A and B are shown apart, each in its own frame.
Chain A
Amino acid sequence: MAGIGVSLQADVRVKAGALEIDMRIDVAEGEVVALLGPNGAGKTTLLRALAGLVQLESGRVALDGVVLEDTRSGRYVPTEERSIGFVFQDYLLFPHLSVLDNVAFGLRSRGVRGPEVQRRAAAWLERVGLADRAHSKPSALSGGERQRVALARALAPDPHVLLLDEPLAALDATTRAAMRRDLKSHLSGFRGVRLLVTHDPLEAAVLADRLIVMERGKHVQTGTPAEVTSRPRSPYVADLVGVNLFRGVAQRGSVRVAAGAAVAAAGAESGEVFAVIHPRAVALHRSRPEGSPRNVWHGRATGIELYGDRARVRVEGEVPIVAEVTPAALAELKLGEGGEVWLSFKATDVGVYPA
């Protein structure tokens, strides 16, 4: 069984084409961490670097205090000697081997011999509910089944670290929801370090205790899913979460954002800050509203998108902002694309936190 108290510390710099990755990753014992970022952020390369599959420009990787790689001392433990289980994005099950032999591969490589190999591989297939597919070839399996075989194959040799690269991305939408729950239970059953890469915020939020957001090879933000979604620190995260994010300088109850516009915000004191406004807090009006909201802007509706019972209206004024209203409200406003509109939101609905 994987040891308790296993932790991973990595500080790596890797060149991947034009992209320079410079990241620090710490995963504590018992923690599931998701590395979240857009495509091309360097997430996969970083994961491969932790496994020793990619040459480090410089840096250090340590597992449980034992150094696996350190460019300064020249130490390098080759991949095959690292106690790492890796679930690849498209699973990479060996197509010429049966499901059972795929799961047994790591056991044989790690020196397990005789009937013990079959017994342990079969036990893993049992755990992922695929005992009856032991003698099938991977090509005969569904996407979800392949994912489970890949997980069983990675876990069978009892690694101390489990790295998962977009574990659900290869699945269709209906399978994904079920596999997400399934994966969550398997992740909680594994006691070593768990680090997964994803570009799907929902997947990250469901599976992980902590998110590390990465863009263009660099660290952007770290925190629990709740912390990251309530206080996004980049346009990418704000977009994922679906909120309006402004960065500016706070001064006596308002935040001066780009282009000289200001957002009245309760609690804005001083310094560089982020201001976040949920689209639901933004109201739309046909004429200039009079009332308590401290923020009243005028602009033009440049994009209207319907999501079920909600409509998202993008308004371009001095600063672009997105409002969310019901389709009924939208109809009453008689607002079409390009139409002029007023909007308002309360200063108390603006979340402000240091940049």
Chain B
Amino acid sequence: MRRERAPLAIGILAAAGAAFFILPLIGLVVRTPWADAARAVTSADTLEALRLSLVASLTATGVALVLGVPLAWVYARIEFPGRSVLRALTTLPMVLPPVVGGIALLLAFGRRGLLGSWLESSFGISLPFTTAGVVFAETFVAMPFLVLTVEAGLRSMDRRYEDAARTLGAKRWTIFTRVTLPLIAPSLFAGAVLCWARALGEFGATITFAGNFPGVTQTMPLAVYLLLGTNPEGSYILSLILLVVSLVVLVGLRHRWLGSA
């Protein structure tokens, strides 16, 4: 096959599109004070924020998998009245400003929230301003990405494999775990990665619901924002660290997720 050449207009616009992403990254790299970088990377505050970010985002992804995959299965397989309304409501955090999401979480799970006051009075559990609160906020914002991806995977899979399993005597739970889940593994994986990436970058809902306490709720994006006012160079370094972590993950997943480009 002959190699395809781009029409001039498409080539120019594509180059502009790529530059739009590349330039800010170059700015970050160029303006980072490398002399201070090594010290900042190993400082206790930075490591604490990084650790918290990773723990919270991975936990949020785990929670999203446990709750989101069954939700996606129900959306894809069970017909019930109000399904599309419910799906729209659970997809809302994707388009809702995260701050609004944070406020909504406060009103539900805050100390005086619908469920929060009961949690507090009955069990002495308080979510706001805790690491658990960070996980709540990140899950709230990131889970819809997983649910939508997995639902699409469930809808596009060949359901006759499940029929084949039934003719072989498999019960519904066995079919779900031994046939359905392995068959939608690529969607599951892509959904989990999207969900994790969204959770890692979460800012608005987290700062609103969980606050900004170093070591407890201050994740990397919060630390970056906080430093920007007092110590811009420090925030550049943290941004670069986030960039590198994201890049490592992307490159690591390239073959499975982005195709071998």
Contact = CB atoms under 8 A, between A and B. Distances in A.
Contact of B167 (A79, A94, A95, A96): A79
A157 B168 contact: yes
Contact of B168 (A53, A95, A96, A153): A153
Nearest to B161: A92
Contact of A79 (B160, B161, B166, B179): B166
Given A53-B163, A80-B168, 10 more contacts: A51-B163, A79-B167, A80-B167, A80-B169, A86-B167, A94-B165, A95-B183, A105-B168, A109-B168, A157-B169
A48 B163 contact: yes
A109 B179 CA distance: 12
Interface string B137-179: 0000000000000000000001011011111111100100011
A85 interface: yes
Contacts of B174: 109
B227 interface: no
- The secondary-structure label for the interface of chain B is helix
B33 interface: no
A110 B169 CA distance: 6
Interface residues of B, number: 18
Contacts of B161: 92, 94
B97 interface: no
A96 B186 CA distance: 12
B156 to A, nearest CB: 15
A182 to B, nearest CB: 21
Contacts of A82: 167
A51 B171 CA distance: 15
Nearest to B174: A109
A96 B185 CA distance: 10
B168 to A, nearest CB: 4
Nearest to A95: B183
Most buried by A among B166, B167, B169: B167
Interface of A: 48, 51, 53, 78-82, 84-86, 88, 92, 94-97, 105-106, 109-110, 153-154, 157
Contacts of B166: 53, 78-80
A85 B167 contact: yes
Nearest to B172: A80
A176 to B, nearest CB: 22
B182 interface: yes
Nearest to B171: A80
Nearest to A54: B163
A194 B139 CA distance: 53
15 contacts: A51-B163, A51-B167, A53-B166, A80-B166, A80-B168, A81-B169, A86-B163, A86-B167, A97-B182, A105-B168, A105-B170, A109-B165, A109-B170, A109-B174, A153-B168
Contacts of A85: 167
Q: Which 5 A-B pairs have the closest CB atoms?
A: A106-B168, A109-B169, A86-B167, A96-B182, A79-B166
Contacts of A154: 167-168
B160 A88 contact: yes
B165 A105 contact: yes
A92 B160 contact: yes
A106 B169 contact: yes
A85 B182 CA distance: 23
A85 B167 CA distance: 6
Contacts of A109: 165, 168-171, 174
B179 A94 contact: yes
Nearest to B170: A109
Q: Which of A48, A79, A81, A84 has the most CB of B within 10 A?
A: A79
Interface string B178-201: 110011010000000000000000
Nearest to A101: B178
B32 to A, nearest CB: 44
B167 A84 contact: yes
A157 B169 CA distance: 9
Most buried by A among B166, B174, B178, B185: B166
B157 to A, nearest CB: 11
A92 B169 contact: no
A142 to B, nearest CB: 20
B164 A92 contact: yes
Most buried by A among B163, B171, B185: B163
A153 B167 CA distance: 10
Contacts of A95: 183
Nearest to A105: B168
A305 B105 CA distance: 77
A113 to B, nearest CB: 14
Tell which of B174, B178, B183 has the most Cβ of chain A within 10 Å.
Answer: B178
A88 B160 CA distance: 9
A313 B178 CA distance: 57
Contacts of B179: 94
B170 A88 contact: no
A95 B185 CA distance: 12
Contacts of B169: 80-81, 106, 109-110, 157
Nearest to B166: A79
Nearest to B183: A96
A53 B161 CA distance: 12
Contacts of A105: 165, 168, 170, 178
Contacts of A96: 182-183, 185
